[in-house]
Amino acid sequence: MADLKTLSEHRCNGGVQRFLEHPSSVIGLPMRFLVYLPPQAESARMPALLYLAGLTCNEETFMAKAGAQRVAAELGLALIAPDTSPRGAGVAGESDSWDFGVGAGFYLDATEAPWAERWRMESYLIGELLPLLFNTQPISGEHLSIFGHSMGGHGALTLALRHPHLFRSVSAFAPICAPMHCAWGQKAFSGYLGADRAAWSAHDATALMRQRTRPPFPHLFEDACHALGQPVTVNRREGYDHGYYFISTFMREHVEHHAAALRR
């Protein structure tokens, strides 16, 4: 039996918002996450959207700020929101920077000391959290999509490309989609993965797309998709900033995009 604790539950748009925690064997620490179950979950297993938040965020940021539950309730979708990194590991310097360490897991498995022992977010999400949810919540493991924002947009794109059998669709708000070419990505990849840039390319969405045999620099990722004949829709929203006022404004379009894919 999974050692899963319910920290709290709240009625929300006819469904229920759950705050959950479990001892992660992959991370070696307690990990928290949120699940929103729409009203339809009372009688059936739900298709689900996995949302990955950005730098400095935690498991609650998306559920509290994005306004996605109302749309999810209308369309009959569950929402899953994990934390952005391990917390409480006691690694020296883990909280020194806003863009590295705590709150900045980049959804990959670190290979460099001292991060390699705990910072294993890809293995945690794919190998532990999702199976736990499929076994304990009314969520269908065969109907899953992924999206995210900023660092979480990076995670959504790379995990969808690295694990295409898991996800039926992917989208992102203002993703870091060419991290090898920006300061945030170079700092994270150097610290977590070391100096070998070949290892970096396995976690760079643009590089991953260019490596396919079939079909914050969005034009690079867009160009890579077009070069391979991979359909992609890119919306540029003039006047909006990088925060959750922007995300909440266009949340419905993203959720409806995934709902259509999950119904196919």
C-alpha to C-alpha distance for 232 and 220, rounded to whole angstroms:
12
Residue 110, domain extent: 5-263
- If one counts the domains in the chain, the total is 1
What is the pLDDT at residue 220?
A: 54
Query: What pTM was computed for the model?
Result: 0.90
Q: Is 198 helix (H, G, I), strand (E, B) or coil?
A: helix
Supply 158's token pair.
């790379």
- Tens of pLDDT, residues 108-158: 999 999 999 999 999 999 999 999 999 999 999 999 999 999 999 999 999
Cα distances from 104 to residues 71, 171, 264, in angstroms, run 28, 20, 34
Provide the pLDDT confidence category of residue 235 given band limits of 50, 70 and 90. Answer: low
Supply 15's token pair.
């469904």
CA angle 135, 136, 137 (to 5 degrees): 105
C-alpha to C-alpha distance for 174 and 187, rounded to whole angstroms:
19
More confidently predicted of 235 and 216: 235
Domain of 37, CATH number, reads 3.40.50.1820
CA angle 99, 150, 246 (to 5 degrees): 125
- Tens of pLDDT, residues 20-40: 999 999 999 999 999 999 999
- C-alpha closest to that of 145 among 120, 165, 127, 118: 165
Return all residues near 136 (Cβ < 8 A) that are at least 6 apart: 2, 4
Main-chain dihedrals φ then ψ at residue 205, nearest 5 degrees: -60, -40
